Structure 1
Amino acid sequence: MKTIFLRFTDRAEALALLGAAGLTVAPRTETETETGPALPPLIMTAAGPVYPDLVFGTGIVALPTGALDGDGQPILAPADGCHVNLLAPDGWPLPGPIAGKVVTPDSPVCVFVG
């Protein structure tokens, strides 16, 4: 399995382009709708499961600004875009609609455990 890091303009674009790439949203139960992940597992037809992570449930990544608050803690500011990580099988061909959204973070702030 490999992690593919994606950055979209916003959540609407993320869902639209993931859908255009042939990924369909798996139905969620009522409990998952209330308490589960903001973006459910997506399954790509004939390619096996591809698991997305709408980073931090919002797609928003907060990065240090270099400034400190009154308590000496780093002040954070949101990075541009909606961030989605995909956990995909090795050799999975990246669909065209999302190919232009791949980014390579120097130090990813959110990764899959494993």
Structure 2
Amino acid sequence: MRTIFLRFTDRTEALALLGAAGLTAVPRTETETETGPVLPPLVMTAAGPVYPDPVFGTGIVALPTGALDADGLPILAPAEGCHVNLLAPDGWVVPEPLAVKQVSPDSPACVFA
């Protein structure tokens, strides 16, 4: 198994392109968090199992701004885009709609255990 890191413009684009690549939502309701809805769980309908993980449940990655708050803790700001990691079988070919959204983070903020 290998992890494929994807970054989309926003949640709407993520769901549209994941759907275009053959990933469909399992019928479950979305969960609301303080930052918005969580992407529903997805499964691959054709080419074998692919496990998606919207990073931190929302697709939002928070990065340090370089500034500190009054307690000396780093102030975080959301990184650009909606981030989704896929755990895919070795040899699985990334579908074209997703291939253009693939990124290679130096230090991923969220990985599969």
Partner of 1:92: 92
1:34 to partner: Cα distance: 5.3
Partner of 1:38: 39
- Structure 1: unaligned runs, 5 residues or longer: none
Q: TM-score, normalised by structure 2?
A: 0.88
More helix by share: 1
Q: Which amino acid is the alignment partner of residue 77 of structure 1?
A: A
Number of residue pairs matched?
108
SS at match of 2:97: helix
- The runs of 4+ residues in structure 1 deviating greater than 2 Å are 32-35
The one-letter code matched in structure 1 to 2:60 is I
- 1:105 corresponds to: 105
SS of the residue corresponding to residue 101 of structure 2 reads: coil
Q: Name 2:35's counterpart in structure 1.
A: none
Say what the alpha-carbon RMSD is for the aligned residues.
1.6
Percent identical residues: 73
Deviation digits for residues 80-112 of structure 1 (CA, Å, limit 9, x no counterpart): 000000000000010011110000001001011
